Amino acid sequence: MKTGIVMGAALSAAAVGGLAVVVACSSSSAVPVPQTSAPTQCSTKAGQFPVANCVPYDPTTESCQSPPLSCDTSPCDMSSPCLAMVPKADDNSGKTVANFRMRKLNITAPDALAFQPPSHVFVQKAVIDQGIYLHNFCGEGPHDGTFSWLIQLDTVNNKVKTGGAPPTMDPFGTGYCFVNTTIQNLQVAPITVDVTKGSDGSYATAKIPKLFVPIYSPSTSGGFQTIILPLSGAQVKDITLSDSNNCIGGYNAKAINSVTSGSCTDDPTACSRWTTAGSLGGYITLNDSDGVAVPQLSESLCVLLTGGSSVVMNGSFKSCMKDGSGNVMAKGDYCSTTDSPGGCQDSYWLAATFAASAAKIVDPNQPDCMGGTMSGGDGGTEGGATEAGTGDSGSPTDAGGQ
């Protein structure tokens, strides 16, 4: 059995000019349009970080609903500019440690994963948005809500803690907890690094040598499948907080163009539902990427990244061809040994922008924040791609203890 949903965390998971807590519409004079000069300003070359609040279209052609359609975003805080996932009595206001869950992650590089047309827009919708958007909460309809990337920003000690969270049965009551366990023989745990505050008020982290991002997706046999995405040399820049410390970026109600049975949809090529306000960059080696399955395409992430120019078939599943030393023969746009573009070309640069809102993060070892009792094995490999580690319940192994 191959893994379920995959790349969401690559970049997927994510630079700010300043915090725009609501995406602007051309019909609104209250909130400015993100300051951009070209429709391609989200495009990101190897080694570069995208503009934090970029949009995948020419901002002067932005087309939003006016007046906005009625979209029930409860139980999120509808008065919050970013739909905070906690009540005002328990939000980040006045606290020295601000807790966040990513609500939007837009991959801007490489082209094979980028969210702007004409690239693989389906990756953004069917993989990333499907996992990050909440499951039948806050107007986000029948999405999975199982891909949770958490951020804790300590503004006194100048530290950032980040990592994944397992699926929770009660994100608003019990909240989320960081994964800290061994999955597929990898120590998957949150990472804490230094963070600095710039003269413009935005934050930037130190480089994270290695971050294993766990991505959970529903299994067709019940429970969840787990996949690990290994990021190297990752860094987050230009994180701008709202005045209340509850928002990194914001939600735009005018982007909603249809409402059906509590599910509110938008057209991200014409009007963005979220203003992103943080920028993420790092690389993934081609060898590592060949251990990540893209089940929707029956191929590894390596094949998707390289365009399938040199593949090996294992039944209907495609993996990248390797040389006698076991290294992928295809070339990327980045070199892991020099941490720079070009060179040995054994990697691809991954970049993204993101938005996040206040969320409840609790201590580990609480079953309800881990989707109930989680048990399972390390999984295996098939077709060159790492398989999910699931047990009888289909749930991740010990996705909690810290």
CB 129 within 8 Å of CB 143: yes
User: Which pLDDT belongs to residue 396?
Assistant: 35
CB 65 within 8 Å of CB 28: no
CB 308 within 8 Å of CB 342: no
Q: Report yes or no on 348 lying in a domain.
A: yes
State the Cα–Cα distance between residues 296 and 352, nearest whole angstrom.
22
User: Which pLDDT belongs to residue 40?
Assistant: 59
Q: Report yes or no on 395 lying in a domain.
A: no
User: Which pLDDT belongs to residue 385?
Assistant: 42
Q: What is the tally of structural domains in the chain?
A: 1
Query: Could you tell me the pTM of the whole model?
Result: 0.82
Q: Report yes or no on 394 lying in a domain.
A: no
Q: Report yes or no on 1 lying in a domain.
A: no
**Angle, alpha carbons 85-90-95 (nearest 5°):** 110
Q: Report yes or no on 100 lying in a domain.
A: yes
State the Cα–Cα distance between residues 96 and 89, nearest whole angstrom.
15
Q: Which helix (H) or strand (E) holds 303?
A: helix 301-306
DSSP state, residue 34: P
- Would you state the structure tokens that stand for residue 120, as one six-digit string? 């693989």
pLDDT under 70: residue ranges of the chain: 1-40, 116-122, 365-402
What's the burial of 122, exposed, middle or buried (CB within 10 Å: 0-12/13-18/19+)? exposed
User: Which pLDDT belongs to residue 373?
Assistant: 36
Q: Report yes or no on 290 lying in a domain.
A: yes
State the Cα–Cα distance between residues 89 and 196, nearest whole angstrom.
28
Q: Report yes or no on 400 lying in a domain.
A: no
Segments forming the whole domain that contains residue 325: 7-386
Q: Report yes or no on 156 lying in a domain.
A: yes
